[in-house]
Amino acid sequence: MAADARQEFREKGLPLLDELYGTALRMTRNPQIAEDLVSDTFARAWKNLGQFEPGTNIRAWLYRIMTNAYINDFRKDRRHPKEVALDAYEKIEDFHLFNKVSRRASPAAEPFDDVVGRLTRADFQKALDDLPEEYRAAIVLYDLRGLSYQEVADALSVPLGTVRSRLARGRKILQKALWDHAADAGLVEKDNNGAGIESAELNK
Amino acid sequence: MRNCEDVFERLYEYINARDLDSAAVEDIRGHLALCRRCYEVYEFERRLVARLQESGACPCPETLKRKIAAFLQI
């Protein structure tokens, strides 16, 4: 019984290393700490194999172990995550980036390609890394890794409603950051404050 | 889905292909086939998520892979 669980873990756990490392890197934002987190995750999983039911979702199980370890042991500020100020997200609408890109003065034939397509991988990583960490964790697990709401809730040890609100707020902040990156890169027009502007303001 | 609001509310679940039953998936698919505005938003967000996923792809260092394989007694 134990030998079966170990064999299943070897066969199914190892192929997940790349995505687990990628996730750890986005969570910790530090390659060395990410390596430690991944090592620690596998060590804990191996030690607790008795709790894993063969045939169930090993991927979700590993993400839960890793996220718990991140929250409890590997975060910079372990006890009191900073509260996110309301004004970080309350004035940003849903689909913010789509709205901004669609409303440009001279929309290109392919608005997505013209703006988002020209942002670099580093721009995306920075926008993600700059997110308040509880939003970043939710977005990485749900949008990047495709876990379900319940799996994310289990990984973060929060209710489903909290997962949804962190995702909604995180996406808003992320999309605003991407628009600002586009403005900094000269892909879209800037206003006096250096933020990207839309066509309505251009016509004033 | 009766209207665009309903679709917007479930758009990321649709993109993620999780948390929606097959009836809901069919409803949304049907709406997107008929509603140009929703389809534009869907395509944009879908491609945005894809780029975000790419940016989160970083291969595990070989040294770490070997260390973990050794630990698991491969």
Half-sphere exposure of A170 (CA within 13 A, CB side): 24
Quickly list DSSP for chain A: -HHHHHHHHHHHHGGGHHHHHHHHHHHHS-HHHHHHHHHHHHHHHHHTGGGS-TTS-HHHHHHHHHHHHIIIII-SS-S-PPPPPGGGTTTPPTTHHHHHHHT-SS--SSHHHHHGGGS-HHHHHHHHHTS-HHHHHHHIIIIIT---HHHHHHHHTS-HHHHHHHHHHHHHHHHHHHHHHHHHTTSS-B-TTSSB--HHHHT-
Inspect the interface and report whether the beta carbons of A124 and B43 lie closer than 8 Å.
no
What pLDDT does A204 receive? 39
* pLDDT tens track, chain A, 204 positions: 577 888 989 999 999 999 999 999 999 999 999 999 999 999 999 999 999 888 889 999 999 999 999 999 888 766 566 677 777 788 899 999 999 998 886 767 788 998 999 999 999 999 999 999 999 999 999 999 999 999 999 999 999 999 999 999 999 999 999 999 999 999 988 754 445 554 444 433
Distance from CA of A192 to the nearest CA of B (A): 27
ipTM of this complex prediction, to 2 decimal places: 0.95
Confidence (pLDDT) at B17: 93
What residues of B are in contact with residue A146 (Cβ under 8 Å)?
16-18
Q: Does A22 touch chain B (CB under 8 A)?
A: yes
Q: Are the beta carbons of B58 and A146 separated by less than 8 Å?
A: no
Q: Verify whether the Cβ–Cβ distance B56 to A23 is below 8 Å.
A: yes
